[in-house]
Amino acid sequence: MSPTIVSAAAKTGPKKAVAAQAKEAAAEPAEPPAPGVRSETIRKGDTLGAVLTRAGAPNNQAADAFSALRNVFNPKDLQIGQKVEIELASAETEGNLDLKRLFLPVSVERDVEIVKGENGYIAKEIVRPLKTVMIRGGGTIDSSLFVSGTENGIPVEMMMEMIRIFSFDVDFQRDIQPGDGYELVYEQRQTDAGKVAKFGRLQYASMTLSGTTIKLYRFEDGSGFVDYYNGKGESVRKALLKTPIDGAKITSSFGARRHPILGYTAMHKGIDFGAPSGTPIMAAGDGTIRKYGPNGAYGNYVQIQHNGTYSTAYAHMSRFADLRVGSRVRQGQIVGYVGTTGRSTGPHLHYEVMVDGTQINPLSVKLPSGRALAGKELKQFQGIMQELDRKMLTLPEPAQLAQARE
Ligand SMILES: [Zn+2]
């Protein structure tokens, strides 16, 4: 008999599920709301008003409580799965309920509460002050930096920030060897009870690659601009990014090669990055757009002038970003998307770096570095760096690094 039921259920599955859900929802009010404290969970499509009514609060009280709540909480911020505590008492009229209190935990640092007073409902906010705690993390790399960070319990935001600041100097596909290490110090914002509310700033990060350690420190300069600097006070930011595309593999390098379409040996004047069509392409550096449109064998093409010497070009794009010749672009800004327009065998980015108009190998170019701190700012930076180095010694060493040293 049971196989018959299974097949019948499978046939009318979704319908039955909906019917069962409706039944379940309909069954709830049958349970008469009783005085006491109830915990409700916000469901899909719920409003606080609906939850209050479901719990048994009279409609007019639910409306009054809701309007008081708006003073401390935006109803749009209500999340599915969020818990609400509702306190109901027996009303003077026999069989009716009286809404006494509504308690809504909003986040680790904040709760809101509505309490019935003599003259209606009063909204209260319970804010727990947060303190900043420094956390020292790190480990050794077996497969990728990101994977190791996750395994060592480092928040994703901090790993992303670390990858961003090192990507000017480190080619994450080619420079990292198994056994390389990294370390970082970041802020954690927590309550007095030690509950973590959020993560703060990445203060320090280092990478040890094939025995050489690069250390970077966060510093905010006099104009409020935040950057990461090495021990000598030089910014990690380079005039040009190492790769203007995220996570792509080099499929063809610079130099003489047998052309895949033309068949004969010719000079390949750029590097090709294989990536799916539509992958965003970033401006390698700040600059001004000099060419922006279809360009023969290059297909859809962008050329950016970065300064008196350097310019970069991006070819075979599927489409452009909303820019034009003369537009100013910032480093990392999206200028277009990977495609296979022009003379191309498949979706890829053909990327060129030019010095005074002549293509050079983008991988061998000695990139001019960003600014170096000097004078008063350098002194300030050195102070911050020394303090951080001192503080780091007082923080527990990441377990994996301690182990690796034994
Ligand atoms: Zn190419």
- Each of the 406 residues of the chain gets a pLDDT tens digit; together they read 333 333 333 334 444 444 444 444 444 554 667 889 999 999 998 888 889 888 888 889 999 999 999 989 998 888 899 999 999 998 887 778 899 999 999 999 999 999 999 889 999 999 999 999 999 999 999 888 888 898 999 998 898 889 888 877 787 777 888 889 999 999 999 998 888 888 889 999 999 999 999 999 999 988 787 889 999 998 887 778 878 887 678 898 898 877 777 777 778 999 999 999 999 999 998 889 999 999 999 999 999 998 888 899 999 999 999 999 999 998 888 999 999 999 999 999 999 999 999 999 988 877 666 678 999 999 999 999 999 999 999 998 888 777 766 6
Is 229 within 8 Å of 373 (Cβ atoms)?
A: yes
- CA 12 to ligand 1 centroid distance, Å: 55
- CA 126 to ligand 1 centroid distance, Å: 60
The pLDDT score that the predictor gives to residue 65 is 92
Helix H or strand E segment including 391? helix 375-394
- CA 343 to ligand 1 centroid distance, Å: 9
- CA 39 to ligand 1 centroid distance, Å: 62
- CA 100 to ligand 1 centroid distance, Å: 71
Distance from C-alpha of 310 to C-alpha of 367, rounded to nearest angstrom: 10
Distance from C-alpha of 307 to C-alpha of 371, rounded to nearest angstrom: 15
Question: If you count DSSP H runs as helices and E runs as strands, how many of each does the chain have, helices first?
Answer: 8, 23
Of 200, 246, 190, residue with least CA distance to 226 = 200
The pLDDT score that the predictor gives to residue 143 is 80
Give the alpha-carbon dihedral of 159, 161, 167, 169, to 10 degrees. Answer: -100
Task: Specify the amino acid at residue 370.
Answer: G
- CA 312 to ligand 1 centroid distance, Å: 13
- CA 55 to ligand 1 centroid distance, Å: 66
- CA 314 to ligand 1 centroid distance, Å: 9
The pLDDT score that the predictor gives to residue 76 is 87
Distance from C-alpha of 2 to C-alpha of 257, rounded to nearest angstrom: 68
- CA 254 to ligand 1 centroid distance, Å: 8
- CA 344 to ligand 1 centroid distance, Å: 8
- CA 250 to ligand 1 centroid distance, Å: 10
- CA 40 to ligand 1 centroid distance, Å: 60
Domains of the chain from N-terminus onward:
34-127 (3.10.450.350), 131-237+379-405 (3.10.450.350), 249-360 (2.70.70.10)
- CA 286 to ligand 1 centroid distance, Å: 23
- CA 351 to ligand 1 centroid distance, Å: 7
Q: Output helix, strand, coil percentages for the chain, rounded to the nearest 5.
A: 25, 40, 40
Distance from C-alpha of 272 to C-alpha of 285, rounded to nearest angstrom: 18
Neighbours of 119 (CB within 10 A): 6
Distance from C-alpha of 301 to C-alpha of 319, rounded to nearest angstrom: 9
The pLDDT score that the predictor gives to residue 53 is 87
- CA 348 to ligand 1 centroid distance, Å: 8
Is 100 within 8 Å of 116 (Cβ atoms)?
A: yes
